[in-house]
Chain A
Amino acid sequence: MQTEFTPLLSFFGGAVIGLAAVLLMATNGKIAGVSGIIAQLLPPGWNKIDFPPALAFVIGLILAIPLYQWFTGNLPETTMVAEHWLLPVAGLITGFGAALGNGCTSGHGVCGISRLSARSLVATGTFMVTAFITVYLLRHVIGGTA
């Protein structure tokens, strides 16, 4: 399935994500890494101090689509690409890898690169390469879903 090339909207949306990252550091002194924030809600990472703001952040993420719909009257496109049997497999791998590597697209890709962290540059390069290879295999070697 084709999707429209949206450089301006994507750049602007990215800037809004960046604004959120800067605001979280300016207010709470925290990196806006979603997998790290999720880890603060689950054992063994949870603790009394970090739990409430981590939960509030996640609630904010979840409320974003209802709020967007309320303001604009539209639902954003959220077209699932994986079959129902594959989604929990993908979710497990995504969560496991992000937690093991201490970050995902937000923590390493946005916040880490903005700090010019070598760890985050290496992590981002690595997950981009394996993601490109995975989609190549999925769509052009195994085939079918494209």
Chain B
Amino acid sequence: MNSLAALLVGLIFGTGLIISGMVNPAKVQNFLDVFGHWDPSLAFVMIGAIAVTLPGYKVLKNRQKPLFDVSFSWPTRTDLDGRLIGGAAIFGIGWGLGGLCPGPALTVLSAGGLGIILFVAAMLVGVIVARNL
């Protein structure tokens, strides 16, 4: 059941990325280009996502357990360390260069093209390297 739920959620998530325009690196990079062809659309993606997730999480926080698992895996860390800030800073550079964050990168794989395959393959290597540090 966990995997079936995850498959459907992945599909819904990807559909949201498509509708919102997050799968278009040109649009993402234009959002980040305040002094050029600025397209503020992606701010609305963030607002829309939080407008649903924040109240949704609030409801779930009062529940004992999820439907298909024994407990909720809410993150517990609260420390602000160098890995968090350094990692986020590095991630932002990559996001700016390619206009792709990990979710859209995987979604765009099925649209084909050598470029996205190169991006995703390198991204997976980057994850492995960071997690082994």
Interface residues of A, Cβ cutoff 8 Å to B: 1-32, 34-35, 38-39, 42-45, 52-68, 75-82, 84, 86-106, 108-119, 122-124, 126-136, 138-140, 146
Query: Of A24, A44, A54, which is in contact with the most chain B CB atoms at under 10 Å from its CB?
Result: A24
Which 9 pairs from chain A and chain B are nearest by CB?
A: A60-B10, A101-B87, A64-B14, A13-B20, A14-B48, A95-B126, A18-B52, A97-B91, A134-B96
- In the complex, are the beta carbons of B39 and A3 less than 8 A apart? yes
Interface SS of A by simple majority? helix
Which chain B residue shows the least CB distance to A66? B110
B62 at the binding interface (Cβ < 8 Å): no
CB interface residues, B 83-131, toward A, < 8 Å? 83-103, 105-111, 113-116, 118-131
Question: Which residues from B are CB-within-8-Å of A93?
Answer: 90-91, 93-94, 97, 126
- In the complex, are the beta carbons of B100 and A114 less than 8 A apart? no
State how many angstroms separate the Cβ of B82 from the closest Cβ of chain A.
10
CB interface residues, B 7-37, toward A, < 8 Å? 7-27, 29-30, 32-37
- In the complex, are the beta carbons of A104 and B15 less than 8 A apart? no
- In the complex, are the beta carbons of B53 and A64 less than 8 A apart? no
- In the complex, are the beta carbons of A21 and B94 less than 8 A apart? no
Which chain A residue shows the least CB distance to B32? A135
Which chain B residue shows the least CB distance to A6? B41
State how many angstroms separate the Cβ of A99 from the closest Cβ of chain B.
4
Question: Which residues from B are CB-within-8-Å of A60?
Answer: 6-14
Can you give 9 contacting A-B residue pairs, CB < 8 Å? A12-B19, A26-B67, A60-B11, A62-B14, A91-B121, A102-B83, A119-B77, A127-B89, A139-B33
How far apart sit A142 and B129, CA to CA, in the bound complex (Å)? Answer: 29
- In the complex, are the beta carbons of B49 and A17 less than 8 A apart? yes
Question: Which residues from A are CB-within-8-Å of B105?
Answer: 91, 94
Apart from A61-B17, A87-B118, A91-B94, 6 more pairs, CB < 8 Å: A7-B40, A9-B41, A67-B15, A96-B126, A114-B54, A138-B97
State how many angstroms separate the Cβ of A13 from the closest Cβ of chain B.
3
- In the complex, are the beta carbons of A64 and B41 less than 8 A apart? no
Question: Which residues from B are CB-within-8-Å of A68?
Answer: 15, 18
Which chain B residue shows the least CB distance to A50? B2
Question: Which residues from A are CB-within-8-Å of B3?
Answer: 52-53, 55-56
Question: Which residues from A are CB-within-8-Å of B68?
Answer: 27-28
Known: A78-B108, A89-B122. A3 touches B27 (CB 8 A): yes
